[in-house]
Amino acid sequence: MSHVATAAIIGSGNIGTDLMIKILRGSGTLKVVALVGIDPESDGLRRAASMGIAAISSGVDGLIEHDLFADLDFVFDATSARAHVYNSEKLLAAKPSIRLIDLTPAAIGPYCVPVVNLEENLDASNVNMVTCGGQATIPIVSAIASQVPVAYAEIVASIASKSAGPGTRANIDEFTETTSEALVKVGGAQFGKAVIVLNPAEPPLMMRDTVFTLSEDGDRAAIETAVEDMVARVNSYVPGYRLKQRVQFDEITTPVVVPGFGPFTGLKTSVFLEVEGAAHYLPAYAGNLDIMTSAALRTAETMALRMNKEAAA
């Protein structure tokens, strides 16, 4: 009989609470046993307690001191980049075998985008889920790069201001740095740039992501097919992830200067995406948070399956 891995979630805000509910809704390989925060009055901790989940309001130190810590397989960190530095040091010192899934832009461990490089990171003790914009756009850059060398990739993530809580806002600077670096390290571009826009529109708009790449000219039909196939793969675990329109191509014959990159001629590929949330806990417009929790869950479930196979061998 396969082992159901146990997990705790640090961060009782929007992301941590949504992740808890996603696991409770029917993960066959993970069981959430604790939600950890620092505000005993938070909605997340109240919900956890009402559903029989240990609600720990004394942070990571309280988790480590709790009786259930010894049996934990995974810890998801949905706090902030700065907090994760502290949390990861404490957790790995207390239990070196624990597996950490980092939903902040701290980037202590390797970047992980499930459809692009999860297999090569299955043994990592601390994987970083990049950012919401990274989870949405890096697969597209990777798909284009699979068909033609990408010299430059630029992404713009537009999210509803209401979907950006204190943790997201605290991570704005790290968002741009981490996403830009991951566009290169995981997406395969030679140079990357990321921009995030908090849209205050009412009613709130769904997450929109725009991907621009500059490359040599190539087989445009093959590029479009690769992008469509990648969208379908992401959609398998983020059902609200979709193309807003067909992939667009523009041939640049007169050199244009790209700030920080230089003059360019060749093929410009534009991809326009929308991410609708599953509304398990967060509103449907909060696709930016939903894609992070969905990617983190897929990563941990795949790791848990690998652990079961190794245990059975």
Claim to verify: residue 94 and residue 157 sit in the same structural domain: no
Task: Give CA–CA dist 230/233, Å, rounded.
Answer: 5
Residue 285 CA to its chain's centroid (Å)? 16
Enter the tokens of residue 13: 């805000």
Claim to verify: residue 10 and residue 34 sit in the same structural domain: yes
Q: What is the mean pLDDT of residues 119-135?
A: 96
Query: pLDDT class for 256, splitting at 50, 70, 90?
Result: confident
Q: Is 288 annotated as a binding residue?
A: yes
Claim to verify: residue 304 and residue 240 sit in the same structural domain: no
Q: pLDDT value at position 20?
A: 98
Q: pLDDT value at position 187?
A: 98
Claim to verify: residue 211 and residue 172 sit in the same structural domain: yes
Beta strand 126-128 pairing with 99-102 = parallel
Provide the CATH number for the domain around residue 244. 3.30.360.10
Q: Is 170 annotated as a binding residue?
A: yes
Q: Is 168 annotated as a binding residue?
A: yes
Give the C-alpha distances (Å, rounded to integers) separating 243 from 116, 136, 246: 18, 11, 7
| 10: containing domain | 5-129+291-312
Task: Give CA–CA dist 189/149, Å, rounded.
Answer: 7
Q: Is 164 annotated as a binding residue?
A: yes
Q: Is 171 annotated as a binding residue?
A: yes
CB–CB of 7/35 below 8 Å? no
Quick check: helix, strand or coil at residue 248?
strand
Claim to verify: residue 41 and residue 101 sit in the same structural domain: yes
Q: pLDDT value at position 259?
A: 74
Claim to verify: residue 279 and residue 295 sit in the same structural domain: no
Claim to verify: residue 21 and residue 163 sit in the same structural domain: no
Q: What is the mean pLDDT of residues 265-294?
A: 96
- Residues acting as catalytic residues: 132
Claim to verify: residue 166 and residue 78 sit in the same structural domain: no
2: pLDDT strictly greater than 70: no
Claim to verify: residue 143 and residue 192 sit in the same structural domain: yes
Q: What is the largest CA-CA distance in the chain?
A: 66
Q: pLDDT value at position 123?
A: 94
Query: pLDDT class for 261, splitting at 50, 70, 90?
Result: confident
Domains in the chain, number: 2
Provide the CATH number for the domain around residue 298. 3.40.50.720
Summarize pLDDT for 128-137 with one digit per residue, the tens: 999 999 999 9
Summarize pLDDT for 266-277 with one digit per residue, the tens: 999 999 999 999
Claim to verify: residue 152 and residue 26 sit in the same structural domain: no
